[in-house]
Each structure stands twice: as structure tokens, then as C-alpha cells.
């Protein structure tokens, strides 16, 4: 048995108009949610910024240096930059070829704990 259930006193045309308005509002709500998610994703890609400090042997300077690296973007799509380097008189003015941005351009230093470890 197939029949249309409507509130009392409503004709079929009024029910169709209300259903159409509800459908339009639901599609608009879905569009807002998808738009918000896309904007949030775009901001995450461009606004994620991490500053890391590393110490290593720099072959170009011929000594141990401390460098602050800036990473922007999502993992796998990061852009790297050197903010400061202790090899220069003014650490913020980095004028070398920035070979330390790549793994082959820096030699890790051996771990030296900052405190003495006593063994019992």
C-alpha cells in the first residue's frame, strides 16, 4: 500500500514545497562543510611551520656549527630553509650554498651527554 502521509490541513503542493526547501538547505550545509574542510586543508599546507635547531660538522666551514632550520608544509611536501648559522659573524645572514639542507651536506656529531653518568 503506497500513500502520502501529510500533516492535517496540508495539501500535497505544500508538502512538496517544504521538502524542496529542506533539500536545498541540506545541500547548502554540505557545501559549507566541504568548503570549510578545503580551506582548513589549504591553510595547513601553507601555514605549518616548524623551527628546529641542530648541531653538526659543516664541511664547508670546517668546524662544528649550530643551525636553525625552518620547515614549512605537510610531511613529504616540506620546504626547508636555514634561518641562522653559527658559522657566520652575523648568524642571520647565511650566505653559503646551504648544503646542510641535504643529508650529504652535514656530518652528525657523536652524542655527548651533558652530565656525568655514574654506574653503581
pLDDT digits (tens, 9 = 90+) for 24-70: 999 999 999 999 999 988 877 776 778 888 888 887 788 888 889 88
Alpha-carbon distance of 3 to 50, in angstroms, equals: 62
Whether residues 57 and 92 share a domain: the answer is yes
3-state secondary structure the chain: CCCCCCCCCCCHHHHHHHHHHHHHHHHHHHHHHHHHHHHHHHHHHHHCEEEEEEEEEECCCCEEEEEEEEEECCCCCCEEEEEEECCCCCCCCCCCCCHHHCHHHCEECCCCCCCCCCCC
Q: What is the pTM of this model?
A: 0.50
pLDDT the model gives residue 105:
66
Asked whether residue 3 is domain-assigned, the answer is no
Asked whether residue 52 is domain-assigned, the answer is yes
Among 27, 47, 67, residue at a domain's last position:
47
105 closest CA partner among 80, 88, 74: 80
Whether residues 102 and 55 share a domain: the answer is yes
**pLDDT band at residue 18 using 50, 70 and 90 as cut-offs:** confident
Asked whether residue 1 is domain-assigned, the answer is no
Question: How many folded domains does the chain comprise?
Answer: 2
Whether residues 85 and 64 share a domain: the answer is yes
Whether residues 27 and 78 share a domain: the answer is no
Amino acid at each position: 500500500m503506497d500513500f502520502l502521509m501529510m500533516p492535517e490541513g496540508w495539501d500535497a503542493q505544500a508538502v512538496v514545497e517544504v521538502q524542496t526547501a529542506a533539500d536545498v538547505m541540506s545541500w547548502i550545509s554540505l557545501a559549507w562543510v566541504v568548503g570549510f574542510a578545503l580551506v582548513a586543508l589549504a591553510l595547513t599546507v601553507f601555514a605549518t611551520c616548524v623551527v628546529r635547531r641542530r648541531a653538526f660538522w659543516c664541511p664547508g666551514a670546517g668546524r662544528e656549527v649550530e643551525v636553525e632550520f625552518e620547515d614549512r608544509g605537510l610531511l613529504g611536501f616540506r620546504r626547508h630553509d636555514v634561518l641562522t648559522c653559527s658559522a657566520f659573524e652575523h648568524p642571520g645572514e647565511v650566505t653559503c650554498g646551504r648544503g646542510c639542507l641535504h643529508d650529504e651536506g652535514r656530518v652528525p656529531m657523536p652524542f655527548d651527554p651533558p652530565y656525568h653518568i655514574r654506574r653503581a
